Amino acid sequence: MHKKTYINRRKSTRIYIGKVPIGNGAPISVQSMTNTRTTDVISTVNQIKELEKSGADIVRIALPNKEAVEAFKIIKQQVNVPLVADIHFDYRLALQAAKYGVDCLRINPGNIGNESRIRSVVDCARDKNIPIRIGVNAGSLEQDIRKKYNKLTPIALLESAMRHVDILDRLNFDQFKVSIKASDVFLTVHAYRLLAKKIDQPLHIGITEAGSIRSGTIKSAIGLGLLLSEGIGDTLRISLAADPIEEIKVGFDVLKALGIRQRGINFIACPTCSRQEFDVINTVNTLEQRLQDIVSPIDVSIIGCVVNGPGEALSSTLGVTGSYHTSSVYENGVRQKERFNNNKIIDQLEAKIRDKVSVINKTN
Ligand code: SF4
């Protein structure tokens, strides 16, 4: 019983990052970036594996120098999830990363240097079937564009993006995606709206440097919510000053909230009041922690009393509604004979959810 989405996706071309399709109606992929030192191979591999376990479709990794690229060679052999190499300025690092099997290059062609360097990176990407991500960021906007517009504007960001896009167009290379990010929500949203009209390639969306878990989640949810509801965005990253695993969780929660993509449990829980018959807040938070391993999409409503419980259960796969001493259990909106003891509700609900998920998995 999952929400339908009423969003008309912007039409775009398709690229592949490894086996992950981006654009042209492909599921919106969720990505993050490692924050270990890339030269610390063990920590980086562990973090990439953790990210993949949390649902990351793609992982980006910074390659700031030759040592990092050599470490990348070993890392790449030890992980499955597609890797994007984040490279600034030095075209030789991009060529080496391509040799070591990178799945996408994040490099802005306008920053590589002279024409022959740009051409060598683009030709290499073409030969090896590696897409490029153009990534414009308000924090590193070109000086001349900054001067021209005097302040950060959506048009200024667009002009920067189009400079890089025009270079790839001139070289007849169309396997790219573009991001155009700022930390200001409306600046970012407006810039993406302009870009979406200008090019056909897929868009990587995000609010950059969004802040801590709380404020960054809110900014990202507003910005990405606006864009996604307009059909803009083919892959996303939530930028948080936090463990990158949180970025993946928030990314999926944004997609879940919009009914775009489901992964794991969608909890519906009331805010609680003095009518609650069991501890709703503790129940939902404990179960969210305990059931992180569940990938199958399922809606579970946890509601403190009969005021809203039966109604929410109607649109949930499983539901509990608080009553005196024992609580009512619902499956697909239908009240069951079984009841949960309010003192054991967490364990009983966990077992019930796991049973239901295993039945769903067997029938799928
Ligand atoms: S569902 Fe019941 S317990 Fe929950 S907030 Fe509403 S009235 Fe209070």
pLDDT in tens, the chain (364 residues): 555 667 899 999 999 999 999 999 999 999 999 999 999 999 999 999 999 999 999 999 999 999 999 999 999 999 999 999 999 989 999 999 999 999 999 999 888 888 899 999 999 999 999 999 999 999 889 999 999 999 899 999 999 999 999 999 999 999 999 999 999 999 999 999 999 999 999 999 999 998 999 999 999 999 999 999 999 999 999 999 999 999 999 999 999 999 999 899 999 999 999 999 999 999 999 999 999 999 999 999 999 999 999 999 999 999 999 999 999 999 999 999 999 999 999 999 999 999 999 998 888 7
Beta bridge partners of 146: none
Domain 265-363 has CATH 3.40.50.720: no
Q: Ligand 1 mean position to 307 CA, how many Å? A: 6
Contact by Cβ (8 Å): 322, 276: yes
Q: Is 291 in a helix, a strand, or coil?
A: coil
State the Cα–Cα distance between residues 118 and 108, nearest whole angstrom.
9
User: Inter-axis angle of helices 91-99 and 66-78, to 10 degrees?
Assistant: 20
> pTM of the prediction?
0.92
User: CB under 8 Å, gap of 24 or more: what pairs does 124-127 form?
Assistant: 124/94, 124/95, 124/98, 125/98, 125/173, 125/175, 126/173, 126/175
> What distance in angstroms lies between residue 343's CA and the mean position of ligand 1's atoms?
18
Atom of ligand 1 minimally distant from the CA of 304 = 3
Asked if residue 303 has its Cβ within 6 Å of ligand 1, the reply is yes
Q: CATH 3.20.20.20 residue ranges in the chain?
A: 15-257
Cα of 280 vs centre of ligand 1, distance in Å, is 10
Nearest CA to ligand 1 atom 8: 273
How far, in Å, is the centroid of ligand 1 from the Cα of 19?
A: 46
Looking at domain 15-257, its CATH architecture is Alpha-Beta Barrel (3.20)
Question: Within the chain, where are the H helices?
Answer: 41-53, 66-78, 91-99, 115-128, 143-149, 154-170, 185-198, 213-229, 244-257, 280-290, 309-314, 345-363
Domain(s) labelled CATH 3.30.413.10 in the chain stretch across: 265-363
Q: SS3 for 143-190, per residue?
A: HHHHHHHCCCCHHHHHHHHHHHHHHHHHCCCCCEEEEEECCCHHHHHH
pLDDT for residue 163: 95
Answer whether 320 contacts ligand 1 (Cβ < 6 A). Answer: no
Q: How far, in Å, from the CA of 320 to the mean position of ligand 1?
A: 12
Shortest-distance Cα residue to atom 5 of ligand 1: 272
Report the atom number in ligand 1 closest to the C-alpha of 272.
5
